[in-house]
Amino acid sequence: MAIGQGHASVLSQTLNRSIIPRLIEAHRPHPSAPPAEALSEPAVTAFARLLLAPDPAPAFEHVELQRRRGLSIESLYLDLVTPAARLLGEWWEVDECSFTDVTLGAGRLQQLLRDHSLSRDLALQPVGDGRRVLLAPAPREQHSLGLLMVAEFFRHAGWDVHGGPTEAGSDPVRSVGRHWYDLVGFSLAAEVHAEALHRTIAQVRSASRNPRIGVLVGGAAFHARPALHGALGADLALADAAQAPALALRFLQQLPR
């Protein structure tokens, strides 16, 4: 399936600048034995091929088998999901697979993250102090794997999380007008959609029931231009998904009462 250079740039940035670095930084393993044979380079390559197969069941069954054998959630993310996502990007760049193939594989990785989430594997840390966050992709953005990761970390930290990839079609402006949120977070991969996000942030601030709502942004676009968040009217730019809850909480605690 042929795609335009614009689509190529967006996907490459999302995989190589946003999703993969976040997974690596957010899940640094504790000192342990080297990865098992099942997580060797040939095995990861075979798993990535399974992600592109017509039937996704073998890929999911492979992960379930490794989890039963004792694979930790950290190792799953770092030693299997991360290199598999990297491979999909590399194969696509050298025309070994199509844009449709990579989209399919990324969607299956997203499902794996849902099935093997942090909140299921680790005890929740009730430090959110009753905070509520609304997460959404920027207007016209379609990627959601990174957004799913951020939602997991907020939920694990005890936040009440709304929106996210499963509600990508919802209207954040309408949501903040109906419900109280302490924070709204947006994910932006392609700078071409920055102006639309700028308008949305302004509308969110105008419509919000909370007049001091915080706005957090993250994604590949901000890796390329770290200062972009200020031009869009956001309060915070996220570089590491694992640090999102603490960063957001510090910001909110510094607001005047």
Q: pLDDT 10s digit of each residue in the chain, 257 long?
A: 444 444 444 555 555 555 544 444 444 444 444 445 657 888 899 999 999 999 999 999 999 988 888 887 767 876 888 788 878 878 887 888 888 888 888 888 888 877 876 555 544 444 446 789 999 988 887 666 667 778 877 887 889 999 876 555 578 999 999 999 999 999 887 788 899 999 999 999 999 999 999 999 987 778 777 788 888 999 998 877 777 888 999 999 888 76
The Cα 192–Cα 228 span in angstroms is 12
- The residue assigned the tokens 């907020």 is 154
pLDDT at residue 39 in the model: 78
CA distance 164 to 144: 8
pLDDT at position 4: 44
Structure confidence at residue 68 (pLDDT):
86
* pLDDT value of residue 220: 74
Which pLDDT score, from 0 to 100, does residue 11 have? 52
**pLDDT confidence of residue 115:** 81
Please report, to the nearest 10 degrees, the dihedral formed by the alpha carbons of residues 43, 146, 22, 58 taken in order.
Answer: -10
